[in-house]
Each structure stands twice: as C-alpha cells, then as structure tokens.
Amino acid sequence: MLSRLNDTPCSGDPAEGPRAHGATPDLGCADVAVDADAGERRIRERVAAFEELLGDPRDEGNPFGNAALLDADERGELSAEAERALAAFGLNDEFVPSALGGNLDRIDGLARVLRPLFRRDASLGLGYGVTSFLAAIAVWAAGDEAQRRRTADLLRGGGRLAIAYHELAHGNDFVRNEFSARPDGSGGYLLDGRKDVINNAGRAEGLVLFCLTAPPGQRGPRSHSVLLVDTEGLPEDAWRVTDRYRTVGVRGCQVAGFSFERCRVPGDALVGRQGGGVETALRSFQITRSVVPGMVLGGADTALRTVVRFATSRELYRRSVLDIPHAQATVASAFTDLLVCDSICLAATRAVHLLPEQTSVYAAAVKYLVPKLLQDACYNLSIVLGANFYVRDGDYGVFQKHVRDLPMVSLGHAGSAACQATIIPQLPRLARRSWTQGTPAPEALFRTGGGLPALDTDRLVLAAEDDALVASLLAAADRLEGPGEAGAELAPVRALVRALVAELNRVREECLALGPHDRTAMASPHAYALADRYTLLLAGSACVNVWLAQRQDGGAGGDGEGFLANPRWVVAALTRVCRHLGLPLPEEADEHSEWMLAEVLGRYHEGRSFDLYDTHLAGPLVDDERAAARH
C-alpha cells in the first residue's frame, strides 16, 4: 500500500482533529513544519531541475525542443534521444514510493513535477512515464512486498509497465471483460484472450492485467482479479503483440494490443487477493483520475503561450492582433480557465491525502471537468490563431499538436461519460446527507504547498458519504458575509459566491428529485447535466477557497500581496464559473480582463507558467530574444 509515504503532519495541522476541536497543539509541531517546508522545497527543486533538462523549447538542436518533438510526432515516434535523457534524469523515480527508493510521497507533487513534460509533449508524458504510473499504482495499492520491490526495481532501472483494464467490446463496463486467467492445476494461471488499444503494449517489460478469474457463468464484483506479469518470462508461442493502432493524437505513443492463448504465468503474479480486481481498480482510478488532469494542464499552458506569441508579434491593420478586443478577451478568459482548472486539480490531488473517503467523487469530477474546460479554451484560442491553427510545423505548429493530444490524454481509463456515471449515483445521497450540514475541508486542502498526511489507500472508499468541498463553499459564503470581510473590494466576490450558493440549492433540489432509474448508468440526460453543474460548483468552491487560503497565509511574500491573494483573480475565476453554468451575472461581477491580460503578458515576457504556481520556465526571456534580435 501507499501508506505512510508522506510528510507526517503535526497534530496541530488543520488537517487533523485536535486543533479543530480546540486542543493545544503538539509541541513537536515546529519540527514537522520544517519537514513540510523541506518537502515543498524538494518538489520545487525537482520541478526546476526538470525544466533545466527540458531546455529552450525553441532550440532546434534540443531533443525536447518544439522542432524535434514535432518531427518525431510526424514520424509517429517518440524521440529516442529524449527518452534516453528522461531515463538518465531518473523520471521513473517520480512514480516509485519513497519507501522503495523513489520520490513519490505526495500526489500533488507528482502532478507538478510531470506538468513541464506535458507542456512539451503529451506523447512523451504518456509513452515514457505516466502509463507506467497508471499500472504501478495497482501494485502500490494491493501488491505484496515482493511485487512492490520488483516493480520499483523495474521502474528505477528505466523499464516500463503497460496497463490493460478495459476491452473494446465492453468499454468502461469492465466487469463484463472476457480476458481470463484460469487455474492451471499447479498453482498458476492460464491466460486467454485479447486486450486492445494498450499504450506501450509492445515496449513494456511488465504488464498489469485485469482478468476474469471466476468460474464460467459466474460474474459479479468478485469475478475479476489483477495480475502482474513479466513479459520476459512468457512463452513466445503463447502470446503475441498485435498490430499497432494509428491515433489522431499522441502519435508517438506505441498503442497496440496483445493476444494470449493458454499462456502460463506463476501464481505469484496475482496482485492482492483473487476476486479483488474491481476494488483494486476502482481505488487505483481514484488516484490516477485525481492526478492526471493536473499534468495535462501543461499542454493548455503551451497552447495559450503560443497564441500570446502570435498575437503580440502579428500585425493586422497596422495593429497587433492583441489590440483587438476579442483577442484580448479570449486570451484573458483562457488564462482564467487555466486557473479554475488548476484550483480544482489542487483540491483533488490534496484530497487523496486529506479526504480519502471523499475522493471517489472528486477524482471523477476533476477527470471530467478539467479536460472539458481546457478543450473549450483551446478551441477559443484557435480562433485567435486563425489559419495558423492548421500549421503543423514552425513557430505555431506546436499548438495544433497540443489540441490533438489533449482529448487523447484525457480518455485514460474513462471518458467524460464514465466519470459522470461515477458521480450521478452519489449526488442524491450527498445532497441529502452532506450539503446542508457537512464539515468544511481543512484549509490545507487549498494551499499550494505545505505538508500532507501520508496517503493510505485503505481509506479510499467506493462511494463518498460527505462532501467537504461543497461545505467549504457554504463556509466561504458565511465568512464573506461576516463583519471582518466588509470591504467594498470584496463585494463582487460576495455576490458571485451568493450566486453559486443559490445554484447549489437548485442543484440540490433536483438531485433529491432524481428517481431510481436516474441513479444508474442508464441515467437521463438531465442527470448528466446535473453532474456537469455539480463539478462546476466544486470548481467555484476550490477557487474561492484557494484565494482565502492565500489571504490567510499572507500571499506570496507573506505580506498580503501577490497575485493569488488579490480578489480580482478570484472574481474573474468565479465569473467564468458562473458563465459556464449559464447563470446571470451579478451587477458587481467583473471579469477584470485588462488586469488578467496584464498578468498574462507579464508572465509571458518573463517566462513564467500560467498556472497557480507561476513557475519560471526554461528558455530565454522574450525580452532577451528581442534584444538579441536588435543586435
């Protein structure tokens, strides 16, 4: 299991019970605070080191540069030179628990470290790295010590894993999967069947397989198991890799399948207990669905950066494209949507540690909403780019690559409908039991840094009973109506939060009215629309509470200043959420387009990321490029 992988929080941390109930903090807390700071420092150092490895994206000789990656994409390959560099960097260490010699101790940290790679190339992000993590998490969650050690050694040695849960014939209904592992009479299993559309199927040294292990005719929640298989030991005449699939996006990924015919594997391939495959899969999905959206956000960051570069350098009617009001509004809105997405990504990844009993609904929500918002933002940006959207090379070719890659990366183990289907059955119960009387999330959920309790996969449950993120929206509304928050500059925030609370009340009434049929996978379109509205409310709660946490912590410099402590960004973010919900905007609402655009341009010229972390990126500053061009 992933238990005790992380910084141990002090007993006075808001994530823990004693302080919340007025108890005196443990005097050992100062030492733990130092450890928490050290954990955050390690994440920042790894991100900075990774950025340095990736280098200048406009350097044509850089294997991680746009020219090399676009060329590899056109060939339908992963850059061999880039993969060698990632292996030398030890990127796979990010997927291995610290107890086994790796760097994995915080899920939010994993998303942050991998985000720079997805800014460059989602094919490398998936093909070299994340696919192995998606497979390994099942071993970390349910494997025995020998399996965990074997998997850690494989990854740390530069090896790869492939994961095979679903089958084309059954889609997301993987309990109906037919790929079987039958007892061979000597303690092992005989594998039979096909798995298709598997990334790294022909390149992986290890396979994580979801198999039918129940006797013929017996299907149910205990009918499937997970096996960890070493490809090197498989008899060559009993299995084969099938033909590669050509994909629209992530063209460099080696997507194929495999076919087994009475292929014998040892009994120690079983991960966890026989019949525990569904539970292992669903617990694993809660972690992977939580973390992957935070990685792929990097692709949208690059798409926005590419459009800003175009809009500031291209003239139209003797003015730059960015002088056009529509272009300004589109760029500012896309930046705001990135911040909205990163806020809910932050809450989802930290909830795996802080609120594991509620992660089932948050993981599905972030996996559904973030790709949807990012794809919409990229489509709007493509209009600003105009005909250059179709260019496949040069300065703007990287834009169309990220737009093609984003939907492919977002599918993973479940598309949007599957995530909504996970949310819908939970909505009536949460609406009835939690939304009016739930306990708000600890403030640590909304901090962009700081220690977290160890991740314990035993605490992950298949259905949430509480919803702290909704409770935090209501708590924020109460706080903003209090006498300590009476400033006129906060009036727009109050008005927008009131609008979201009113929408929550409408959603609650409609959720309580859902009939039994609407609580199943065959739910009506109305139930799916309710799930969509609910995820946007979670995003609104994440935004306002990230802002409140920054104000509480004193902003970037500890003096109440800094971008995230400023109410204008959260007004812009909540306005975007209300627009996505189709709500009439309060009179006080203001998207602050000019102010947000100024922030975009400042970050662009100074080479900083467009997310919550405002990270310095590799490559020369834009102003340095201009100075070099003049000379």
Per-residue pLDDT of 53-74, as tens digits, reads 999 999 999 999 999 999 999 9
Does the pLDDT value for residue 414 go beyond 80? no
Average pLDDT over residues 454-482: 94
Q: Please give the residue that has the higher pLDDT: either 438 or 571.
A: 571
- pLDDT band of 509, cuts 50, 70, 90: very high
Q: Give the chain's domains with CATH numbers.
A: 17-159 (1.10.540.10), 162-275 (2.40.110.10), 280-606 (1.20.140.10)
Lowest mean per-residue pLDDT among 167-181, 485-499, 586-600: 167-181
Lowest mean per-residue pLDDT among 442-446, 482-486, 613-617: 482-486
Return the closest-CA partner of residue 294 out of 133, 493, 55.
133
Does the pLDDT value for residue 294 go beyond 90? yes
Alpha-carbon distance of 171 to 289, in angstroms, equals 17
- pLDDT band of 215, cuts 50, 70, 90: confident
H runs (alpha helix) in 323-358: 325-354
Burial of 315 (0-12, 13-18, 19+ CB in 10 A): exposed
- pLDDT band of 412, cuts 50, 70, 90: low
Alpha-carbon distance of 87 to 129, in angstroms, equals 10
Token digits of residue 531: 């799930």
Average pLDDT over residues 22-44: 54
Does the pLDDT value for residue 441 go beyond 60? yes
**DSSP letter at 171?**
B
CA–CA distances in Å: residue 536 to residues 273, 354, 541: 38, 21, 9
Q: What pLDDT shows up at residue 416?
A: 81
Q: What pLDDT shows up at residue 331?
A: 97
Does the pLDDT value for residue 11 go beyond 60? no
**DSSP letter at 437?**
T
Q: What pLDDT shows up at residue 22?
A: 31
Average pLDDT over residues 180-185: 94
Q: What is the 3-state secondary structure (H, E, C) of 358-424?
A: HHHHHHHHHHHHHHHHHHHHHHHHHHHHHHHHHCCCHHHHHHHHHHHHHHHHHHCCCCHHHHHHHHH
- pLDDT band of 556, cuts 50, 70, 90: low
Average pLDDT over residues 117-123: 96
- pLDDT band of 555, cuts 50, 70, 90: low
Alpha-carbon distance of 141 to 130, in angstroms, equals 16
On whether the CB atoms of residues 535 and 423 are closer than 8 A, the answer is yes
Return the closest-CA partner of residue 428 out of 543, 517, 525.
517
Q: What pLDDT shows up at residue 68?
A: 96
Does the pLDDT value for residue 311 go beyond 70? yes
Average pLDDT over the chain, rounded to an integer: 88
Phi, then psi, of 29 in degrees rounded to 5: -65, -35
- pLDDT band of 308, cuts 50, 70, 90: very high
Does the pLDDT value for residue 413 go beyond 60? no
Residues 6+ positions from 407 with CB-CB distance below 8 Å = 249, 371, 375
Can you say how many angstroms the Cα of residue 455 is from the centroid of all Cα atoms in its chain?
Answer: 17
* Torsion on CA atoms 109, 114, 118, 121, rounded to nearest 10: 180
Q: Please give the residue that has the higher pLDDT: either 505 or 415.
A: 505
Q: What pLDDT shows up at residue 260?
A: 96
CA–CA distances in Å: residue 410 to residues 96, 288, 407: 23, 11, 5
Lowest mean per-residue pLDDT among 20-29, 178-187, 341-350, 619-628: 20-29
Q: What pLDDT shows up at residue 227?
A: 98
Average pLDDT over residues 521-541: 94
Average pLDDT over residues 270-285: 94
Place of tokens 């070299």: 128
On whether the CB atoms of residues 327 and 380 are closer than 8 A, the answer is no
Average pLDDT over residues 601-630: 79
On whether the CB atoms of residues 444 and 354 are closer than 8 A, the answer is yes
Burial 14-52 (b: 16+ CB within 10 A, else e): bbbeebeeeeeebeebeebbeebeebbebbbebbeebbe
Residues 6+ positions from 99 with CB-CB distance below 8 Å = 4, 5
Residues 6+ positions from 559 with CB-CB distance below 8 Å = none
Token digits of residue 384: 């600003």
Token digits of residue 427: 């909505």
Residues 6+ positions from 61 with CB-CB distance below 8 Å = 68
On whether the CB atoms of residues 540 and 373 are closer than 8 A, the answer is no
Please, how many CA atoms are within 13 Å of residue 540, restricted to the half-sphere of its CB?
35
On whether the CB atoms of residues 122 and 402 are closer than 8 A, the answer is yes
Residues 6+ positions from 343 with CB-CB distance below 8 Å = 446, 539, 542, 543, 546, 573, 612
Residues 6+ positions from 324 with CB-CB distance below 8 Å = 316
Does the pLDDT value for residue 234 go beyond 70? yes
Pairing of strands 255-265, 189-199: antiparallel
- pLDDT band of 231, cuts 50, 70, 90: very high
Percent of the chain with pLDDT over 90: 74
- pLDDT band of 510, cuts 50, 70, 90: very high
Return the closest-CA partner of residue 249 out of 98, 396, 76.
76
DSSP H or E segment with residue 20: helix 17-20
In sequence order, the β-bridge partners of residue 315 are: 320
Return the closest-CA partner of residue 229 out of 303, 179, 185, 156.
179
Pairing of strands 270-271, 255-265: unpaired
Does the pLDDT value for residue 558 go beyond 90? no
Q: What pLDDT shows up at residue 28?
A: 29
- pLDDT band of 392, cuts 50, 70, 90: confident
Pairing of strands 239-241, 206-212: unpaired
DSSP secondary structure of 70-136: HHHHHHT---HHHHHHHHHHTGGGGGSBGGGTSSBS-HHHHHHHHHHHHHH-HHHIIIIIIHHHHHH
Residues 6+ positions from 88 with CB-CB distance below 8 Å = none
Q: What pLDDT shows up at residue 177?
A: 82
Q: Please give the residue that has the higher pLDDT: either 261 or 13.
A: 261
Average pLDDT over residues 141-166: 95
